[in-house]
Structure 1
Amino acid sequence: MPKNTPKRDFKVWALACSNSGYLLKFFVYEGKSNTDEIGTLGERVVKEISNTYQDKGYCLFFDNYFSTVPLIQELLERKFFTCARFRSDRKYSPADLLKDVKKMKFGDSKYAMAGDVSFTVWKDRGTKPVMIVSTMHNPSSTTTVKTGPNQQNKLGQKEDICRMSDCRSRLE
């Protein structure tokens, strides 16, 4: 019965290595805790699951459920580089970056920076643009690449698109 939502479900938070695919750490969400920690659930999950790897200059990638600007800044202080999708309705979202996004065409991008945190809006094939927040990329440096093998225009040709190319140097 695919339309019936389950009355019980599990949330499993996991940290995996992007090179090997190995599961490094995980835990099962057990509901609200009695601690007085501040921040969203996503912020607390990222902090807890990454705490044993801090001060080593690792790169963390996560989804927009977890990404907030205070978390990104705190992770940078703990010597983590981050890259995540970012919801445009979140606090500290750059409003002027989101102007005229409806006029963007496939492959167009715009960016803004605030200190070490960069925001990039990129128009993908869908109707809504994708927003990325990062402390590891320099959005002003781009490279032109061809679209993937399954992404061709109406004439069957690959098109040129821009992508971020430079990564910041690792923390020492």
Structure 2
Amino acid sequence: MKTPPEEHQAVDEQIVPTKQRISLKQYNPKKQHKWGYKFISRAGESGFVYDFEMYTGKGLVDVSDLGVGAEFVLRLARGIPKHKNYKLFFDNWFSSLDLAQTLSDQGILTLATVRANRLKGFALELDSNFKAQGRGSYDWRVETQSNAIVVKWYDNKPVHLISTYAALDPEDTCRRWDGK
């Protein structure tokens, strides 16, 4: 029996903690469990995991011009139906403008955070201007070749988003919890 795929899916990495002495173990100082096996998985919004791969190290993965993270996304996205309005979400370890364009060409819609240095050719508002405008200010541009929108939104620091299906409208107000 084959499980039908969900419309909204995400690719993310997770660490399975271990103290074993084995070469497949990865170190990430930003994680709660710093040492462990790193898995990259594609899961639906229900939490059902459709596919996964073990990360064995940067030198052990075939890397194209898109980078290591993008290669994982492309391999895991093979199981998503093409040109059927399926949406794929991922974070800035994986994303780039080139990856969004490649997935768009394959008929998979995307939404992701993206690192500023992976947005070649986008002249977005300066960080200092955002600080003056305050939390909630934003700037955006559209990349016409892949029809992707890039948004730079200021929270406590700038956050960059890229999407091949979401738009700016409708705009809404976000409420945040504050310790004060």
- Per the TM superposition, whether the score is higher than 0.5 is yes
Match in the other structure for 2:55:
29
The alignment of Structure 1 onto Structure 2 pairs a total of residues equal to 144
1:11 aligns with 2:38: yes
Task: Give the match for residue 43 of structure 1.
Answer: 70
Identify if the C-alpha distance between structure 1 residues 119 and 37 changes in structure 2 by more than 3 Å, giving closer, same or farther.
Answer: closer
Question: Whole-Å Cα distance in 1 between the matches of residues 93 and 68 of structure 2?
Answer: 9
Q: Which residue of 2 aligns with 1:52?
A: 79
Cα displacement string for residues 86-114 of structure 1 (whole angstroms, at most 9, x for unaligned residues): 11122415233346233231111211111
The answer on 1:106 being equivalent to 2:135 is yes
Query: Deviating runs (4+, > 6 A) in structure 1?
Result: none
String of CA shifts for 1:84-142, please: whole Å, max 9, x gaps. 11111224152333462332311112111111110111122x2x111101111112x23
Indicate the percent of aligned positions where both proteins have the same amino acid: 26
Q: d(CA) in 1 for partners of 2:124 and 2:55? A: 37
Report what 2:7 is aligned to. Answer: none
Q: Note closer, same or farther for the CA distance 1:43–1:36 as it changes in structure 2 (3 Å cut).
A: closer
Partner AA of 1:121 in structure 2? K
Mapping 1:157-172, distance limit 5 Å: none
TM-score by length of 1: 0.72
Number of the residue aligned with 2:167: 138
What RMSD over aligned residues (CA atoms) do the two structures have, in Å?
2.6
Residue 120 (1) aligns with residue 120 (2): no
C-alpha distance 138-146 of structure 1, shift in aligned 2 (>3 A): closer
- Which 5+ residue runs of structure 1 have no aligned equivalent? 155-172
Measure the CA separation in 2 of the matches of 1:54 and 1:93.
31
Tell me which residue corresponds to 1:90: 118
Range moving further from structure 2, 37-46 or 61-70? 37-46
Q: Residues 123 and 136 (structure 1 numbering): CA distance in 2 closer, same or farther, change over 3 Å?
A: same
Aligned with 2:136: secondary structure?
coil
Cα pair distance change 1:7/1:16, threshold 3 Å: closer
Determine which structure has the larger strand proportion and give its number. 2
**Runs of at least 5 residues in structure 2 that lack an aligned partner in the other structure:** 1-28
For each residue in 1:123-164, what CA deviation from the matched residue of structure 2 results, as whole angstroms up to 9, or x when unmatched? 22x2x111101111112x23333515x359x7xxxxxxxxxx
Residue-by-residue CA offset, 1:41-60 (whole Å, 9 max, x unaligned): 01100000111214132101
- Could you tell me the TM-score, scaled by structure 2's length? 0.69
* Deviations 1:4-58 (CA, angstroms, capped at 9, x unpaired): x69963210011101x111111111223347474430011000001112141321
- What CA distance in whole angstroms lies between the structure 2 residues aligned with 1:133 and 1:151? 27
